[in-house]
Structure 1
């Protein structure tokens, strides 16, 4: 059975994650004995990616955001990293709020968008499913919202949190594979290297961004369930301000 130092070294070398020794000792104490070292390391990594990094990762100055990262008075700076962070929120700022609400409601009705068609899922048996297609001139071309209620087109705005609990706003400056409402769960872990921070916002591009994966189920599920209500609340707030 691998010891804590071996597992920590392996995760650090492969994922640049410095696992807390106390967290790792607790993990090992609850693990079965006589488990191969490789399997134990994979399980530990899976648990880290599903955890709150404020509890599972050790901290040092180079792996954390600057305390004043959100200061808009700082015109531009670069944070070398690598800095592991977790996603607390994601928003498609390239799609209107109403379009996002309508996409969610299509999903609630059992519909999805495929190109210029509405595809409705219907049950044809206990173990089989079929689809019913309806042509639509109002759904837009390819790239319209999918079954999850997101076009994935972006750009996206993220709220990121480091292992010390410091939060920062991040903006997708270039299209990044894996950043979309349907692909990036709340609690997903990201590694930032040589990221530029301008006026308090982290500017994301493929060169500074590495998706490690994972999610925090206790955060992801309520976030998804409450998304429509949050969008409607924002629309109401905009209407109130206009009046």
Structure 2
């Protein structure tokens, strides 16, 4: 069975994540004995990606955001990193709010869009059952990306948090594979290297942001369940502001 130092070194070499020794010792204490070192390391990495990095990762001055990272008075700065961060929120700022609400409602009705045609969808469980019985349904479609109609949309705006708890707003300057409302979970981890921060905004592109994956279930589930209500609230606020402006005029 590998010891904590070996596992920490392997995760650091593979993903540039500096795992907290206390977190790793707790993980090892709860793990079964006689597990191969390679399997134990993979399990530890999976748990790290599913954890709150404020508890699972150690920090040093170069692995966290500057405390004033969101200061809009700083025109531009470079963060050498590597800085591991987790996603707390994601918005598609390239798609109208009403379009996003309508996409959610199509999913709620069990519908998807294929071209200009609205089709019924089946659940993953039903699809697996049909496959197991050797049958298929050519008129059905499976997949959350097609069901929402937002795959490939963007750019996206995210709220990121480092292992020290500091939060920063980020924007997708160039398309980054894996960033979408359906495919990116709340709690997903990114590794930032040589990232530029301009006026308090982290500028993300494929060269500076590497998606490591992961999800914090306790954050992701309520975020998705409350997304439609948040969108409607934002639409209501915008309409109220517009009405107030008209009244003032």
Whether these two folds match at TM > 0.5 is: yes
Ranges in structure 2 where 5+ consecutive residues have no aligned partner: 131-135, 244-249
Residue 10 of structure 2 corresponds to residue 10 of structure 1: yes
Give the length in aligned residue pairs.
Answer: 232
Task: State the secondary structure of the residue aligned to 1:89.
Answer: strand
**In 2 relative to 1, CA 105–67 (structure 1 residues): closer, same or farther, beyond 3 Å?**
same
Q: Distance in 1 between matches of 2:21 and 2:127?
A: 52
Residue 96 of structure 2 corresponds to residue 84 of structure 1: no
> How far 1:132 sits from its partner (Å)?
4.6
- Report if the CA contact (8 A) 1:67-1:166 is conserved: yes
Task: State the secondary structure of the residue aligned to 1:240.
Answer: helix
C-alpha RMSD of matched pairs (Å): 1.8
**In 2 relative to 1, CA 33–126 (structure 1 residues): closer, same or farther, beyond 3 Å?**
closer
The 5 A counterparts of 1:136-175 are 146-148=146-148, 150-175=150-175
> How far 1:130 sits from its partner (Å)?
3.6
Task: State the secondary structure of the residue aligned to 1:23.
Answer: helix
Q: Distance in 2 between matches of 1:52 and 1:187?
A: 7
Q: Distance in 2 between matches of 1:227 and 1:214?
A: 20
More strand by share: 1
The 5 A counterparts of 1:92-241 are 92-121=92-121, 127-128=129-130, 130=137, 132=139, 146-148=146-148, 150-241=150-241
> How far 1:154 sits from its partner (Å)?
0.1
Q: Please list the CA deviations of residues 178-205 of structure 1 after superposition, one character each: whole Å capped at 9, or x if unmatched.
A: 1111111000000000000000000011
- Report if the CA contact (8 A) 1:54-1:164 is conserved: yes
> How far 1:241 sits from its partner (Å)?
1.0
More helix by share: 2
Residue 19 of structure 2 corresponds to residue 22 of structure 1: no
> How far 1:121 sits from its partner (Å)?
2.4
Q: TM-score, normalised by structure 2?
A: 0.89
Q: Distance in 1 between matches of 2:122 and 2:85?
A: 40
Task: State the secondary structure of the residue aligned to 1:84.
Answer: strand
Residue in structure 1 matched with residue 71 of structure 2 by the alignment: 71
Ranges in structure 1 where 5+ consecutive residues have no aligned partner: 134-144
- Report if the CA contact (8 A) 2:113-2:149 is conserved: no
Q: Please list the CA deviations of residues 79-122 of structure 1 after superposition, one character each: whole Å capped at 9, or x if unmatched.
A: 00000000000000000000000010011111011222212126
